[in-house]
Amino acid sequence: METVKSVETETQLNLDPIIESKIKTLLNQMTLAEKIGQLSQHNGEGFEAVAAINRRVKQGQLGSVLNQADPEIINEWQRIAVEESRLGIPLLIARDVIHGFKTVMPIPLGQAASWNPDIVERGAQIAAHESSSVGINWTFAPMVDISRDPRWGRIAESLGEDPYLCGELGAAMVRGFQGDNLSNPNSIAACVKHFCGYGASEAGRDYSSTNIPEYELHNVYLRPFKRCIDEGAASLMASFSDIDGIPATANDYLLTEILREHWKFDGLTVSDWNAVQELAVHGIAENDKDCATLAANAGIDMEMSGTSYEDYLSGLVKENLLSINQIDAMVSNVLRLKFRLGLFDNPFVDDKNAQLFGSDAALKVAQEAAQQSLVLLKNQNNLLPLSSTKKGKIAVMGPLADAPYEQLGTWIFDGDASISQSILTAMKLFQTDNLKIDFNCGLEYSRSKDTKHFNDAIKLAKNSDVAVLCLGEESILSGEAHSRACIDLPGAQIDLIKQIKATGTPIVGVILAGRSLTLTNIVDDLDAIIYAWHPGTMGGPAIAETLFGQKSPSGKLPVTLPKMVGQLPLYYSQKNTGRPPTDESVVLIDEIQQFAEQTSLGMTAFHLDAGYKPLFPFGFGLTYGEFDYSNLQLSAAQLSENSSITAKVTLANSGSHTATETVQLYIRDKVGTITRPIKELVGFQRVTLAPGEKTSVSFEITTNNLKFYTRRRQWEAEPGEFQIWIGGSSDATLSDTFSLLA
């Protein structure tokens, strides 16, 4: 890969001289073994691990532990570290607190559908409060891997396909976890991961190779990382995967040149689980010693779970394969985080704080987050909202209607399913003498093919005014190492829908899933569709209040919903290509005449069996209101460095419900030194309007919105013409142009 000259705006190191001098004092006292100990993170799960950690901590030879959430054990480790080890250095206690601790927020992909940095920040804050109360001081989140392939199970943990949205929401998580000051007892250190490109795993198969060309790396994959680091993310994790043949864990271009030299990152870098030793499995090292050499020299400060650092780093120093200055720099990064977290002042927790779990305040945020994550994809004949006052019968059905655990989603090591409120439970609260709510699961779990409940389900649907069918995927079908090649509804769910459809009762489909599923074969059978992702602890109440119209849905898709797997990867910000498809150029397979001539089918970039459009575009989501966009105006037709243009649009709610719309601003750089996306999101705002209300929404556009990594390998804006769109999805049509002066 060629050398990068400048990546976005370069920042300067901003170190606290008092902390730096304390680090120096400690380094002067530390033996090599104690230094290397700081660079190791051990798994703290299980009785034997706890005892082994006790011993190592006493010797002053362990920097961090992960996977322990018992405050008594954690306090005891910290006591040994502080009171019994020679230099009294406290421990970093890490845990995957990804979208909540005991109180679970929607999966990150669901949170991303809120397009609301404020609710994402508040969710992370709750997670930090709850987890810090047991002694955890470091989480492995946010994951800001751009994800454009829903086969990849980890798309659940991502913030979607777009670098701008992902960066803004990742930064919000960083603020939520870390608070105003890392040393607050309720703050935990964020870890932005996985650096870099993990989301581009080939064919969406987890851990697979990635091949990301240089411009794509800078303009798409690196951007959210830079955003989170600028926000102050305290640490960063390298990806498991290789990128263009170089595993991220041994990638000095990423970990040193970009991260340290250009971005001036002064935080801690950690490998992923056993990823240092897996360098040998990748086939770029012969043995563990080579693994340690490659990772340490590339820029990995701390090894997670493996032992190659503790086994080989001291030998490497003796053999001059690694300098003591390098070791000191790595240890400084560990100690700096410990000082920033205030652990040297007080590493202990008072376990009475555990009463914090599932507090009313936490549940309120979880419900708000879940409600804002709901995306209304379809609402034929205004089937929704349902009336809670009219006489009637509602059938609540489907394998995910009463699934308190499954609705929590992936990565819930500590999530408490006993406080999770299901859709059925929440719907039942609306039952009155007039309104009857009955339940039949149809299928016992999402993958089930056992149709034994079908007859009863059909009977119930026939006797009801509407069927609310809760469908989707169980938690286990998404997340790490849980990729799928077919992303249709699993089990006999499609069959269940068809049978309920045949009763003639209108169906509301509520889809709970860890990814965007392909819904093509059922979209016409469902009269209304709410995409709920895995909505977390308060998913039930959030869905019930939305179905009954107490709140309008306001979520927008953070990922493109494909028609079929063969379209993947599919994302809105594609390049134009030399042969862009249009509605006119597309000839679909059933329209082709027999013996048609080779060049008669349009000759543009589309699939004969899928066309070129998704099922639902990025940014799409309906509300119970009716939003109209008009009167787009630019304050000037020309932009120069240091000036700005205001783009203004009139937004009106002509519907009969108060609703929140996310207004989106897209830009296209018409001519660049490299090919540019046909549309790129550069701004968004959530706006709430009462029926009949109208307002003007404006965005400031500066050269910062136009910058990209150009053919000169600079982060800069190129003069020329730009097109902008403002609207309610990436399909926005209201448009104007302006030019950037040289």
- The span from the CA of 461 to the CA of 438, in Å, is 10
CA distances to 439, 450, 453, 472, 559 from 444, rounded to whole Å, are: 12, 8, 8, 12, 29
Query: Contact between 661 and ligand NOJ (CB under 6 A)?
Result: no
Query: Contact between 42 and ligand NOJ (CB under 6 A)?
Result: no
Query: Contact between 225 and ligand NOJ (CB under 6 A)?
Result: no
Query: Contact between 273 and ligand NOJ (CB under 6 A)?
Result: yes
- Residue number, 141 or 376, with CB nearest to ligand NOJ: 141
Number of Cα atoms under 13 Å in the Cβ half of residue 219: 25
- Residue number, 306 or 555, with CB nearest to ligand NOJ: 306
Query: Contact between 206 and ligand NOJ (CB under 6 A)?
Result: no
- Residue number, 230 or 480, with CB nearest to ligand NOJ: 480
272 is an active site residue: yes
- Residue number, 100 or 442, with CB nearest to ligand NOJ: 100
Least distance between ligand NOJ and beta carbon 627 (Å) = 38
Least distance between ligand NOJ and beta carbon 93 (Å) = 13
Query: Contact between 414 and ligand NOJ (CB under 6 A)?
Result: no
- Residue number, 151 or 194, with CB nearest to ligand NOJ: 194
- Residue 230 CB burial class (10 angstroms; 0-12, 13-18, ≥19): middle
Binding residues for ligand NOJ, total number by CB under 6 A: 7
Report the relative pairing of strands 392-397 and 92-95 from DSSP bridges: unpaired
Least distance between ligand NOJ and beta carbon 94 (Å) = 8
- The span from the CA of 550 to the CA of 542, in Å, is 10
Query: Contact between 722 and ligand NOJ (CB under 6 A)?
Result: no
Least distance between ligand NOJ and beta carbon 288 (Å) = 19
- Residue 645 pairs in a beta bridge with 701
- The span from the CA of 38 to the CA of 89, in Å, is 9
Find out whether the peptide bond into 194 is cis, omega within 30 degrees of 0: yes
Least distance between ligand NOJ and beta carbon 480 (Å) = 6
Least distance between ligand NOJ and beta carbon 193 (Å) = 6
User: What mask, x for binding ligand NOJ by CB under 6 A, covers residues 66 to 105?
Assistant: ------------------------------x---------
Query: Contact between 272 and ligand NOJ (CB under 6 A)?
Result: yes
- Residue number, 102 or 193, with CB nearest to ligand NOJ: 193
Residue from 193, 336, 515, 556 in contact with ligand NOJ (CB under 6 A): 193
Query: Contact between 227 and ligand NOJ (CB under 6 A)?
Result: no
- Residue 468 pairs in a beta bridge with 396, 508
Query: Which structure tokens are listed for 651?
Result: 């937004």
In the chain, how many H helices and how many E strands? 19, 26
- Answer for the pair 469, 526: CB distance below 8 angstroms, yes or no: yes
- The span from the CA of 168 to the CA of 111, in Å, is 12
Point out the catalytic residue in the list 266, 272, 414, 416. Answer: 272
DSSP secondary structure letters along 326-357: HHHHHHHHHHHHHHHTTTTT-----GGGGGGT
Least distance between ligand NOJ and beta carbon 168 (Å) = 21
Calculate the CA dihedral of residues 498, 503, 508, 510 and round it to 10 degrees.
-40
The helix, strand and coil proportions of the chain, stated in percent and rounded to the nearest 5, come to: 35, 20, 50
Q: How many residues does the chain have?
A: 742
- Residue 642 CB burial class (10 angstroms; 0-12, 13-18, ≥19): exposed
Query: Contact between 140 and ligand NOJ (CB under 6 A)?
Result: yes
- Answer for the pair 457, 442: CB distance below 8 angstroms, yes or no: yes
Residue with CB nearest ligand NOJ?
Answer: 140
In 133-184 the beta strands, taken as DSSP E runs, fall at 138-139
Query: Contact between 152 and ligand NOJ (CB under 6 A)?
Result: no
- Residue number, 193 or 679, with CB nearest to ligand NOJ: 193
Least distance between ligand NOJ and beta carbon 413 (Å) = 9
Least distance between ligand NOJ and beta carbon 625 (Å) = 39
Query: Contact between 488 and ligand NOJ (CB under 6 A)?
Result: no
- Residue number, 35 or 193, with CB nearest to ligand NOJ: 193
Query: Contact between 242 and ligand NOJ (CB under 6 A)?
Result: no
Query: Contact between 301 and ligand NOJ (CB under 6 A)?
Result: no
Sites of contact with ligand NOJ (CB under 6 A): 96, 140, 193, 240, 272-273, 480
For the annotated catalytic residues, the residue numbers are 272
